[in-house]
Structure 1
Amino acid sequence: MATLRPLLLLLLLAWHSRGEDVDVLCADSACYTLHRNEGSWKSAQERCRNNGGNLAAVGSASEAARLRGLLATARWAGPAWLGLALPKGHCVQPQELLRGFSWVAGGEPGNFSEWASEPAVTCVSARCVALRPPGPHGPGGWADRACRSPLPAFLCKFSFQGMCGLLPLAGRGTVTYQTPFGVRSAHLAAAPFGTLAEVECDSGRDSAFAVCKGPLAGGGFAWHPPGPLCPVTCGQHNGGCQQRCLDGPGESPRCACHPGYVLAADMASCVPEDSCHPNPCQGSCRALPGGFECGCEPGYALAADGRGCSDVDECESGPCQHQCHNIPGGFQCQCQPGYRPAGPAGRHCVDVDECAHPHSCPQLCINIPGSFRCACRPGFQRQPGGDFCQDVDECLRDPCPGACRNFLGGYECLCPPGSLWDGDGHGCSPGEAITNSIPQSSSSIPQSSGITSQSSSIIPQSSSIIPQLQSIPQTSGIPRTTRIPWTTSIPRTLGVPTAGLGAGSDEHSAHGPRLLLYYIVGSLVAILLLLAFALVLVACRRRAAKKEKPPAKNAADNYCWVPEQPEGRGERR
């Protein structure tokens, strides 16, 4: 009697809020109810929340199938509110799965939707969603409407930690389940945690009660007391037991199982004994009638004892092209330096083109299997112990008959006037002489009184012949100057010092005609300078002659001398 007092108290608490007779479906860890009450979306949500739930949320195809099954069992063909809504001031998002709507229960939006028709695009009015069952109008699904508009039904969802199966009965009787969310039903395939079961036995005895409790020590949920209720003797329907029924003097019938089986949570059914709990295998365990069978994960093999697992060395079969590294449960292929993995599971190796990467080499890069090699362009050479290329000074080998000019990557010969470059620019050959002289001109020096000066023409010559001043005009009364030689030389271009690496030069683009032109212009400038110097020297001498003092005059300077006459006639006139 003491055991029944808490059960009676729980029954009174459940009856305190009398439940309504609605259609209910319980599966997994949730129960769904269909309420045939007309109202708006807001009033339906309040009804569900008052009982500890929310308007139903649908997060998967299996959950949608349960709701359709509930409507079909209840033979309900009209729409019913769901827990999907769009608040006022929020906009419909046609690109999103839920179109901007959200579940009133919260949580992640999920990746499931079942729109029967696209919702109206709006940002100013609240919109709510109803479930429309399949029928003549179409396959059914979600449809939006104004939240204030009334609907004749709504669907609630209640979540629980777990479920109990049907309460087992030994004899005939009727079970009525009072759920924690206020619904009484005699047709439940599973009862949620906290459900009170009231049993009326056909034998006319007092009513019996049981509560779904859990979780148990071994996991799961079960009725307390476990049943079977409405006890009878083992002679009636085997006492309600599946396999064996045991009774004794003064004891109620109890159920038992054959060897290899154990009683289920309902204490009436029998299930195969779980020989895999605890797991006797290193890998997986599969229960068999009267025993078990061990298995191993891929990459492992069952040991000789039938329980352990040992690693399989896959590298023994040579699955990799280069190197194979065995790891627990598998293997890894590795490539040699200069190669990269390719193909399925990286078992093959292909060469890496290091030359495809910039700055691999300073000048030329040559890819070779597994590596690469740097080289220099013609006219450069690698430095010992370094990776850079330095210009080769070819002029040090004296490859030209005359002057030589070095530049980055090569050299060229500087040919004297009258010679021509060879085709490769590395030699000179005799050619048609090019006259580079100034036409002869005679210049006279102004004559002074009683003085006659003559100037011989100065003939400059080009090429390497040094121009000379032939003569200086002589003037009476001035000390005579003999030939004064004046020599000058035309600078000869020597080889340009080798430039260091990195200093770019375009001098190699110069051609023979340009250098010949430089020689001609240089010769003309030298000749003009010589002419100017000779003119300045003559002018200076003339100025010095003018400054000399004239001889003193005497009285006879005012007379003219006549030839002498014979003395006999001498008569002055």
Structure 2
Amino acid sequence: MAALRPLPLLLLLLAWRCGGEDAEVLCASSACYTLHRSGSAWEKAQERCRHNGGSLAPVRSAAEAALLRELLDTARWDGPAWIGLALPRGRCVQPQEPLRGFSWVAGGEQGNFSQWESEPGDTCVSARCASLRAGRGWRAGGCQTSLPAFLCKFSFQGMCGLLPLAGRGSVTFSTPFGVRTARLAAAPFGTLAEVRCEHGERSSYAICKGPLAGGGFAWDPPGPLCPVACGHHNGGCQQLCLDGPGESSPRCACHPGSVLAEDMTSCIPKDFCHPNPCQGSCRPLPGGFECGCEPGYALAADGRGCSDVDECESGPCQHLCHNIPGGFQCHCPPGYRPAGPAGHLCHDVDECAEPHACPQLCINIPGSFRCACRPGFQRQPEGDSCLDVDECLRDPCPGACRNFPGGYECQCPPGSIRDGDGHGCSPGEAIPNNIPQSSGITPQSSGITPQSSSIAPETSSSIPRSSSSIPQSSSSIPGTPRIPWTTSIPRTPGMPTAGLGAGSGEHSADGPRLLLYYIVGSLVAILLLLAFALALVACRKRAGRREKPPAKNAADNYCWVPEQPESRGERRKQKQK
């Protein structure tokens, strides 16, 4: 018989029947919780849970608290039961913490969930242990107190579902943690199920095995157990019952588009997307499936694969487009920066906004920039630097030319004035000889004081050629007071005078330069006049010496000594004698 194939394992599992105990069990997900109605202290209850591979039950979350509450309600237990929460001796109660300083003996993360019915007493000396009462919360008490029940938790890798039965029968489950029960909605890995069929002489057995090749856990044999003929309630099958020649018992099957469930009697819609037959996403449909692709991909011709879409063919970018798997990227050429939605546009970069882009002038152009020089400068052949242009090399002025960075100016000769732009000369205007007098300079020479002189200069020379009066001198009066004298300063054409040019709007731009010419010309004329006056005085002295030669006598060879006051009395005495 198929149910007797795993004989060694079956014999091992049959040994559990001898030591199993009856207890309320609730299995869900990957853990089973048990309620043991046996009075014991906290340490004894923890020892019994560990003996079977578990621990006193923790309550780390609201979902776990709901499972324990369901277990107590199913068992109709309203008394206290130990849980795996304790405060060791030597540790103090911490009122500000969720667990109040207690910890779960099962280990792992302590968590922040708490459900205290009353606050534990403040102590640091004695050990304290927690209990749970249905419909209430946690309560701390002495660990040596004997309570009538305790809760255990056992963890597993997986669970098997309901054991399918074709006919009537009873099932007794022997769990790996030593508990026998007739009610088990989900059985943990390693659970042995003993089935007694209503019309059978012998018992059948099944065991929860796994994990299977496709994942999950299942009963072996898969059932349904307690087989009957297909004519009796369709053999216990939901859709099709197959009872052909050569088969020891009927078996269940499903219509196309459906598959047998884990109980091997029920049928569920076939999941055509498991395993996924598509390269992308799969959507199940009645009797089939439909494949889909992620954005940036298109469904291939076979209806299952996905191929990349070249978005650059539609021209989404303003300049450069680069296709990538599942999308594209826009790029801007040098001199531009990404802009606009998702960076699909490009804006010109103003390089001239950067400091020191060019030595003088910067001209921004789309995608680049150009350096230029100011008027009067020119760019070097190999570079952006600007060199001054020497305009004077072209001889643009009628007279002298002065070059300066970025331009030039003409130095006009006497008798002409510079144009307004400084690049030419025009004939000067006639200027009257009303030169202001100067009385701050008085020449001195060998006791001769010049009184007045009037010098008539020629029109084109600053050196006087003639004199209408010769200054008189007297050699017999040394220390004669200085007498101021006036001169008529020669005027150079184009040079401003005190009464002309300073306020002229035509030459206001050259006022400082013409004033300098005026001052320098005046000083030169005064110095020439002084030299001329000194020359005349020297000539007069020479002429006087030629007319009256001095008479020579013996006294010329002697030096006259001034009379001393002390010797006058002695001379008088000599005369009296």
Structure label with greater radius of gyration = 2
Question: What amino acid sits opposite 2:380 in the alignment?
Answer: Q
User: Aligned match of 2:6 in 3, 6, 30?
Assistant: 3
The equivalent of 1:26 in structure 2 is 28
The equivalent of 2:443 in structure 1 is 442
Go from structure 1 to structure 2 and tell me whether the alpha carbon gap of 1:418 and 1:199 turns closer, same or farther (over 3 Å shift): farther
SS at match of 2:213: coil
The equivalent of 1:319 in structure 2 is 316
Q: CA deviation at 1:301?
A: 3.5
User: Aligned match of 2:329 in 317, 329, 332?
Assistant: 332
Q: CA deviation at 1:222?
A: 0.8
Q: Percent identity?
A: 63
Q: Is the 8 A contact 1:355 1:365 kept in 2?
A: yes
In the TM superposition, 1:157-306 aligns within 5 A as: 159-181=155-177, 185-203=181-199, 205-247=201-243, 251-273=248-270, 281-286=278-283, 288=285, 290-306=287-303
2:344 aligned with 1:347, yes or no?
Answer: yes
Go from structure 1 to structure 2 and tell me whether the alpha carbon gap of 1:3 and 1:396 turns closer, same or farther (over 3 Å shift): same
Go from structure 1 to structure 2 and tell me whether the alpha carbon gap of 1:308 and 1:406 turns closer, same or farther (over 3 Å shift): same
Go from structure 1 to structure 2 and tell me whether the alpha carbon gap of 1:83 and 1:555 turns closer, same or farther (over 3 Å shift): closer
Go from structure 1 to structure 2 and tell me whether the alpha carbon gap of 1:180 and 1:442 turns closer, same or farther (over 3 Å shift): same
Question: What amino acid sits opposite 1:371 in the alignment?
Answer: S
Q: State the TM-score, normalized to the length of structure 2.
A: 0.57
SS at match of 2:15: helix
Go from structure 1 to structure 2 and tell me whether the alpha carbon gap of 1:274 and 1:412 turns closer, same or farther (over 3 Å shift): same
Q: For the residues of structure 1 that align with 2:237 and 2:192, how far apart are their CA atoms?
A: 23
Q: Is the 8 A contact 2:197 2:226 kept in 1?
A: yes
**Superposed CA RMSD:** 6.7
Go from structure 1 to structure 2 and tell me whether the alpha carbon gap of 1:387 and 1:259 turns closer, same or farther (over 3 Å shift): same
Q: Is the 8 A contact 1:44 1:81 kept in 2?
A: no
Q: CA deviation at 1:99?
A: 13
Q: CA deviation at 1:26?
A: 0.8
Question: What amino acid sits opposite 1:163 in the alignment?
Answer: M
The equivalent of 2:404 in structure 1 is 406
Q: CA deviation at 1:169?
A: 1.6
Q: CA deviation at 1:242?
A: 2.5
Question: What amino acid sits opposite 2:193 in the alignment?
Answer: A
Deviation digits for residues 461-482 of structure 1, max 9, x if unmatched? 9xx96899x99x9x9xxxxxxx
Tell me the matched-pair count. 475
Give the stretch that moved more between structures: 301-310 or 72-81: 72-81
Q: For the residues of structure 1 that align with 2:50 and 2:107, how far apart are their CA atoms?
A: 10
Q: Is the 8 A contact 1:437 1:524 kept in 2?
A: no
Deviation digits for residues 548-568 of structure 1, max 9, x if unmatched? xxx99869989xxxxxxxxxx
Deviation digits for residues 16-59 of structure 1, max 9, x if unmatched? 5757535x3412x455667899999999988876634686576x
Go from structure 1 to structure 2 and tell me whether the alpha carbon gap of 1:416 and 1:281 turns closer, same or farther (over 3 Å shift): same
Deviation digits for residues 172-219 of structure 1, max 9, x if unmatched? 334344444555554444333333334344447444432221121233
The equivalent of 1:68 in structure 2 is 66
Deviation digits for residues 480-503 of structure 1, max 9, x if unmatched? xxxxxxxxxxxxxxxxxxxxxxxx
SS at match of 1:321: coil
Q: CA deviation at 1:340?
A: 3.3
Q: For the residues of structure 1 that align with 2:305 and 2:396, how far apart are their CA atoms?
A: 84
Q: Is the 8 A contact 1:341 1:347 kept in 2?
A: yes
Q: Is the 8 A contact 1:301 1:310 kept in 2?
A: yes
Question: What amino acid sits opposite 2:233 in the alignment?
Answer: H
2:384 aligned with 1:387, yes or no?
Answer: yes
Q: CA deviation at 1:236?
A: 3.5
Deviation digits for residues 381-414 of structure 1, max 9, x if unmatched? 432332333444556567787663624x566788
Q: For the residues of structure 2 that align with 1:435 and 1:234, how far apart are their CA atoms?
A: 149
Question: What amino acid sits opposite 1:348 in the alignment?
Answer: L
Question: What amino acid sits opposite 1:164 in the alignment?
Answer: C
Q: State the TM-score, normalized to the length of structure 1.
A: 0.57
